[in-house]
Amino acid sequence: MNTFDYYRAATLVEAFALMRDKTNYTLLAGGTDLLVKFNEKIMNPKIVLDLGLIKDMREIHFEGIGQVTLGALVTHTQVMESQILQKYAPALVKASSMVGSPQIRNRGTIGGNICNASPAADTVPALIALGAQIELTNEKQVRVIPLEELFLGPGRTVLQTGEILTKISLKALKPDQGSGFEKLGKRKALAISVVNTGVFIEVDSKTRAINEARIALGSVAPTPIRIKKAESLLLGKVLSPTLLKDVASVVASEIKPIDDIRSKAEYRRDVAGELVKRAVEEAWNKASFLG
């Protein structure tokens, strides 16, 4: 590991003061991705600014207006244990539970998983499906953008110098809405996803037709992506095996996977359709009026 200066902020105000007039800093949350990159000299920061002690960025809240907010420093373990998220954002709970290992989930944060901007990040397709908006805060102002607009490419985001991802907000699921998440890795633990997908649907309680749908995938393009063509195929229809098959084939034709160390493009196309099928079924089954 190369040398760097380390600073620790106990509050956001302190963090912004430390960031002022600096451009060559790296923000540190849990460290489960960054320490690997530091150690292997893939990243060689001059200044490391540790946000880990900022308490109010570690909280999960149900806001009462049907909104759930997560501080960026909430860990995957916190997500898994949160009764609020189990009830209102089950796809996210499932995604966090499939990240890395217990050791990684205890330290790794949602904000870190997002800002690391890996195309294979597990929580991101789940969050996009759940309609996540993120707060990017600098010393003077806060801007809110949809999560899917954050990513520019592998490891690259629109986060500007002086900004911190502070908060993620989701609309709490209602009884006629459901979410699903599926991941395929080489094994159950400590596997970077070959393909992952998060799905949200809202079902009309009388006609059982799908009113709203979001389908997001990871590891099939330079950034996590939504497949809007597959989403619109679901709208106005009742779920059926034929519809699922059609959705799967649209997904397979819309994604742009590559061959890499974990898998081949061709295999990814095949499994992406199948995983989306399963996640849509899961979301459909969870829309509680059916139960």
Partner 1 sequence: MNKAAINFVLNGQEKALEVDANRRLVDLLRDDLGLTGVKLGCGEGECGACTVIINGQTANSCLVLAAQVDGTEIITIEGLGDHDHLHPLQEAFIEEGAVQCGFCTPGMILSAKALLDHNPNPGKAEIMDSLSGNLCRCTGYTKIVNAVENVIRQSNAKGS
CB of 3 to partner 1, least distance (A): 4
Query: Side chain identity at 276, as an amino acid letter?
Result: V
CB of 73 to partner 1, least distance (A): 12
CB of 98 to partner 1, least distance (A): 11
Provide the binding-site residues for partner 1, judged by CB under 8 A.
Answer: 1-6, 8, 28, 31-32, 35-36, 38-40, 48, 50, 52-53, 77, 100-104, 106-107, 188-190
Strands, E assignment, 29-99: 47-50, 60-62, 67-71
CA gap 98, 188 in Å, rounded: 8
Residue closer to partner 1 by CB (options 49, 280) is: 49
Residue closer to partner 1 by CB (options 38, 151) is: 38
Residue closer to partner 1 by CB (options 54, 221) is: 54
Residue closer to partner 1 by CB (options 39, 205) is: 39
CB of 289 to partner 1, least distance (A): 30
CB of 43 to partner 1, least distance (A): 12
Residue closer to partner 1 by CB (options 99, 280) is: 99
First to last CA, the chain: 54
CA gap 22, 47 in Å, rounded: 9
Give the other-Cβ count within 10 Å of 242's Cβ: 9
CA gap 90, 37 in Å, rounded: 31
Sorted by sequence, the CB contacts under 8 Å of residue 194 that are 6+ apart come out as 184, 185, 186, 219, 262, 263, 267, 268, 271
Phi, psi angle pair for 159, to nearest 5°: -60, 125
Closest to 71 (Cα-Cα) out of 12, 131, 149, 16: 12
CB of 51 to partner 1, least distance (A): 11
Contact 201, 212 (CB under 8 A): yes
Residue closer to partner 1 by CB (options 123, 169) is: 123
